[in-house]
Amino acid sequence: MHDGALLFLEIGALLFGIALLGRLAGRIGISPIPLILLGGLAFGEGGILPISQGEEFIEVGAEIGVILLLVMLGLEYNAKELMGSLNRSRVAGGFDMALNAIPGAIAGFVLGWGPVGALVLAGITWISSSGVVAKLLQDLGRLPNRETPTILSILVIEDLAMAFYLPVLTAVLIGMDLAAGAISVTIALAAVLLILWVALRHGPLVSKLVWSKRADVLLLSVLGLTLIVAGLAAEANVSAAVGAFLVGIAISGPAAEHATQVLTPLRDLFAAVFFLFFGLSTNPADLPPVLVPALILAIVTMATKVLTGYLAARKAGIAEPGRWRAGFALTPRGEFSIVIAGLAVSAGADRSLAALATAYVLITIVIGPLLARLPDTERFDRWAKGRQKARRMRQRAAAAEA
């Protein structure tokens, strides 16, 4: 069989398999993400039947999937809402870094990887997956919820922080001198500020630039602009996801409403490819030796992420159930964690670090969507409302005594 035919067969079989997994997930009432990941493990390197022709398509498709997830999140909000939410979540962003980066740094020293390994693992455990969280919010119908802007603010703060962290990490890994590292960070900062300035000050112009009554023209305009900005952001060592999110923020009015409609099927396709890619790129044989430390690290840092979301939502004045929804939604790690581990290994770090990162990400991506559904259960909802009622009674009693 020639390569072209095999490519079509492999991609077609994978997409059809994703559809079947999605149908199964719907039947049993869970997110399809864990099933797609486990399916990818079965057909990736070291799996039951590894694919041979579709790797490049799936890798590029995975990157497009993250970009589409984030631009469509951005379309749900305007620039004023973003800045207000970011301003309210500054303290939460600091808590987020302290609570979630420190356990990773400690693990780096405990596992014998020294200061560089500690810096790498700190980033891996700190950053939630924007792509996974965006898909979760969509699947669970939580985009209109009161806690969602708080969740998005934390994700954006994390992604913006990557504009500083990644150049610093790269400089440390390759032994770059202080001046060169400072230049790299300055370029990244300038790129972030430029994208923010265009999104905040010239949003109506961006909307007019992409708007068309023809669905095909609108689709091509929004997708093309998003990919251009994402590419420029990545070239400046800024997250492509941040660039895509800010493009979505800049588009408003009828352009945003119709862009959401035409991009939805494309997002669903490439988002599924994004989650499939994680499984396909993982060799199951690499996981058992690092499974125990990865599981311990995942348990600790999923708990700290829940605490991060809970505290941020409480500061925003959100009720008890919404605080827990925010916390559980932030638990999955993903694309940034894998990128950070890849940078470390390519610079000569211990290859077991990449295996640990992969196992850690897989654990959080599989368990995270399951935990995210927990606040929607009747029993948990009753417990959370009971806590809130008890707290109010204590506050009233304290006020009466005063």
Kindly report, residue by residue over 300-312, the tens digit of the pLDDT. Answer: 999 999 999 999 9
Q: Rounded to whole angstroms, how far apart are CA atoms 317 and 81?
A: 16
Q: Which structural domain range is residue 251 located in?
A: 39-395
Q: What is the pLDDT of residue 163?
A: 66
Coil/strand/helix, residue 225 = helix
Residue 4 lies in a domain: no
Q: What is the pLDDT of residue 75?
A: 84
Q: Rounded to whole angstroms, how far apart are CA atoms 150 and 210?
A: 28
Coil/strand/helix, residue 48 = coil
CATH number for the domain spanning 69: value is 1.20.1530.20
Q: What is the pLDDT of residue 227?
A: 93
Q: Rounded to whole angstroms, how far apart are CA atoms 7 and 57?
A: 9
- Each residue of 62-91: pLDDT tens digit? 889 888 887 887 787 666 666 776 677 778
Residue 1 lies in a domain: no
Q: What is the pLDDT of residue 81?
A: 66
Residue 16 lies in a domain: no
Residue 200 lies in a domain: yes
Q: Per the confidence metrics, is the pTM higher than 0.95?
A: no
Tokens of 9: 């067969």
Residue 13 lies in a domain: no
Residue 19 lies in a domain: no
Q: Rounded to whole angstroms, how far apart are CA atoms 70 and 244?
A: 6
Q: What is the pLDDT of residue 74?
A: 78
Indicate the number of domains in the chain.
Answer: 1
DSSP string, 160-197: HHHHHHHHHHHHHHHT--HHHHHHHHHHHHHHHHHHHH
The answer to whether residues 325 and 312 touch, using CB atoms and an 8 Å cutoff, is no
Residue 24 lies in a domain: no
Q: Which residues of the chain have pLDDT under 50?
A: none
250, burial (CB in 10 Å: exposed 0-12, middle 13-18, buried 19+) = buried
Q: Which among 328, 385, 366, 384 is positioned nearest to 137, based on CA atoms?
A: 328
How far from each other are the two terminal CA atoms of the chain, in whole angstroms? 83
Q: What is the pLDDT of residue 109?
A: 93
Amino acid making up residue 292: V
Residue 8 lies in a domain: no
